[in-house]
Structure 1
């Protein structure tokens, strides 16, 4: 299968420490509140926080389980986390995600970068590939936007106001 990769970069600031945000990315009790899932629909939130260790989230929506898994590649607490991401129920493609967090005078800033692997259909033209890359980028950005809004609420108020389920 041929593929292309598009890069998504997002920045967010939080009114808390870098350590707090790092914890939200790596502690199952916090991950299940916002990371590819919501607490009311989460079935699994686990991780083995070490280089080579894995993480897994299973969210149950609309009668289906959605499983996201990955492996930790770099752990530099609380400044940087690099890990793989894939959803095996859709395909075998694997993205790489980097999260860098730095303390500011007030709060912290997170820089999120995802290399999104976009699969190609055999008959696609360059135009089709560009269109698919834009769609994957924009849909991924929208999804993370929702998740980061939840993360911000969690970090700054201790809870997330979920949309009506």
Structure 2
């Protein structure tokens, strides 16, 4: 499928911990299984090989189905920047790119997250159909990350995530 558009979602979050702690939560499988596309109570797989060209994988089990998210690390500059690919092969072969940048603040750190989202569309769609699909993908992606970042904040600041699915 080569009929697609792209859009970029950017989100900024502050944490009351050092950037090293947040960076670790993106790469440590024990931390990933608590917030990253999954919850500890529904996680079946959380593994990664955090090096350039290394891969990561999360499998979350909900409502009787497995949801698999995979990707490859493109850049790792601890504790400042992480760039990796993201795709869910059960839905399509499209691959997004995610960039996480961290900078220390006087108190804690700031995370700037961006995802280049590939939005598939049908051949006969009008411009308004494409705009609608882009907005729906972007809004849905933003809502998903919003909830994940709530879990991430709780995890890095308290050591646990209270909601377990």
Task: Settle same-fold status: TM greater than 0.5.
Answer: yes
State how many pairs are aligned. Answer: 164
In the TM superposition, 1:1-165 aligns within 5 A as: 1=1, 2-162=3-163, 165=165
The structure 1 segments of at least 4 consecutive aligned residues displaced by more than 2 Å after TM superposition are: none
Structure 2, unpaired ranges of 5+: none
CA RMSD of aligned residues (A): 0.7
**Aligned mates of 2:43, 2:57 — CA distance in 1:** 11
1:42-80 Cα distance to aligned partner (Å, 9 max, x none): 000000010000000000000000000000000000000
Structure 1, unpaired ranges of 5+: none
CA distance in 2, matches of 1:157, 1:49: 24
Give per-residue Cα distances to partners, 1:28-47, cap 9 Å, x unaligned.
00000000000000000000
